[in-house]
Structure 1
Amino acid sequence: MKTALTIAGSDSGGGAGIQADLKTFSAHGVYGMSVLTAVTAQNTKEVRSVQDINLSIIKDQIEAVFDDIHVDAVKIGMLSSAETIKTVAQSLRSYHPEFIVLDPVMVSKGGHHLLQLDAISALKEIIIPMATIITPNIPEAEVLIKDPIHSAEDMKEACLAIKALGAKAVLLKGGHLKGEPNDLFFDGENFIWINGTRIHTKNTHGTGCTLSSAIAANLANGASIIDSVQEAKRYITLAIEHSLNLGNGHGPTNHFYELYKKAHLVTK
């Protein structure tokens, strides 16, 4: 069985973070493992508090997994501090995982900063160059390149700038722009638009975590980078289309919709 490791923060509400990652791995038939970098107290409405995990525990978690179980792909999510970033990078360098999918988590749906401002430089200088692919949304990309993004042409320029930071490929998600949520993939040579359809729902909690985890799972299963991205886009679109109306804020996506449908289970 193929495996994937998520290195990220938790979400007590279950819609994002490692909870979303593990659900996504399972939905793709991949055995999921996890390294907690932070514990968050959150629900569909807000992030109430965050506690970073001790650096030695983060290091031990990574080593415990790699020293015992083969890891086919790694997904990196919330790394709240420069110290956490350095610890994760140093540990991963020892094991040389083939695929690293980086979701540069910065701000929650409710506006809570999940990446300390002084850690952005460390993210750019240390983690991004290790990534097989980085999956920023528009606001995250604007922080990384320090320029606004308002158009398709701006997205191309942003991909060029982010690729220059060292990642092998970039998937810039266009959902924050007006119109359809079209994403742009760039591998250093080719720009490929991955078109989407706008689904009018407030239940989009954890979409970034889920998409990046789906890419990691697809890579673990042997797909190419572009095929992994395109299949992940199809998966997250379906998960949003059949999202769950739970809580009073941004509800979660439906990670197991296709499996539930095959099993004839009620999903709403």
Structure 2
Amino acid sequence: MNEFPQAMTIAGSDSDGSAGMQADLHTFFVQGVYGTSVLTACVAGNSYGIHDQVLLPKRFIDQEFKDLAEDFQIRAAKTGMLANSEIIEAVIENYQKYDFGPLVVDPVIITKHGDFLLDQEAFATIKEKLIPLATVLTPNFFEAEKLADMKIESSADQIQAAKILQDMGADTVIVKGKHHDDQQSEVSDLVLYASGKQEWLSGPYYATDRKNGSGDSLSACITAELAKGKDQEAAIHTGYHYVQAAIKNELAVGHKFGPVNQFANLN
């Protein structure tokens, strides 16, 4: 019993299915892992934008964790949208209480368009208490700048930012390259492993509006691979190529800022 690989996403629900928990569960399915979930918030939106949200109370979040811990053999977990300091604290408390395996932290702080999502108290809680629990930390370009408190304008800056984030307690850090300029031709992501090894993952820049859920999908794919027993390097490589394929092969869903295409990986 309970031998099939199982992973957990701790995130918000996006009603349009492009990001958040839905993107995580899509990815778990595609990667052959059974997905479980701790819901933290519900977001109402579509490809045009986000229009409302409801946050889940701590007592409900606590119960979700308890129920999953009592029944499932979860081998890896990831975080997404945590919304406020109370929810972040609840997640930290429960993750430390139960054994859910390695934790991939996708710090949902700033959108890919540069919009800040948290108040200062919640930001401080992520920085001081959640990041030290991260087996793998996967900030986007803007989040890496904010967390490291520096501008990233070169490959040397990416390395410096990764070292700062690792000094906060994360084991392995991925600092994504700038990917919001349609004039660029390539994107280079830096991986700084817990061992100190540095690795660049580079690929073409795709000028498309169908990138919603790219960060969620990367962190979820890494989580799925860790749940299958893969080491960090193999999991990160799989996650990188998974997202590259999902962005390259556009999916005709929605009208404006559409989702990445996880189905591109169903081969």
- What's the TM-score bracket when you normalise by the shorter of the two chains? over 0.9
User: Runs ≥4 in structure 1, deviation > 6 angstroms?
Assistant: none
The superposition leaves residues 73-115 of structure 1 with CA deviations (integer Å, 9 ceiling, x where unpaired) of 1010111111111110001101133210000012345666433
Contact in 1 for aligned 2:92/2:130 (Cα 8 Å): yes
Counterpart for residue 71 of structure 1 = 74
Counterpart for residue 266 of structure 1 = none
Tell me, yes or no, if structure 1 residue 163 matches structure 2 residue 166.
Answer: yes
Offset, 1:49? 1.3
Name which of 115, 119, 134 aligns with 1:116. Answer: 119
**C-alpha distance in 1 between matches for 2:113 and 2:142:** 14
Matches within 5 A, 1:82-121: 82-109=85-112, 113-121=116-124
Matches within 5 A, 1:2-151: 2-109=5-112, 113-151=116-154
Residue correspondences, number = 260
For 1:148, the aligned partner's letter is K
Q: SS state of the match for residue 200, structure 1?
A: coil
Name which of 175, 184, 187 aligns with 1:181. Answer: 187
**C-alpha distance in 2 between matches for 1:4 and 1:114:** 26
Q: For structure 1, which segment, 169-178 or 111-120, has the greater mean C-alpha deviation from structure 2 after superposition?
A: 111-120
**C-alpha distance in 2 between matches for 1:132 and 1:111:** 25
- TM-score normalised to the size of structure 1? 0.93
Tell me, yes or no, if structure 1 residue 207 matches structure 2 residue 214.
Answer: yes
Percent identical among aligned pairs is: 37
Contact in 2 for aligned 1:129/1:167 (Cα 8 Å): yes
Runs of at least 5 residues in structure 1 that lack an aligned partner in the other structure:
263-268
For 2:53, the aligned partner's letter is V
Contact in 2 for aligned 1:2/1:220 (Cα 8 Å): yes
Offset, 1:117? 2.9
Runs of at least 5 residues in structure 2 that lack an aligned partner in the other structure:
none
**C-alpha distance in 2 between matches for 1:50 and 1:108:** 16
Alpha-carbon RMSD across the aligned residues, in angstroms, is: 1.5
Name which of 237, 255, 263 aligns with 1:248. Answer: 255
Contact in 1 for aligned 2:179/2:205 (Cα 8 Å): no
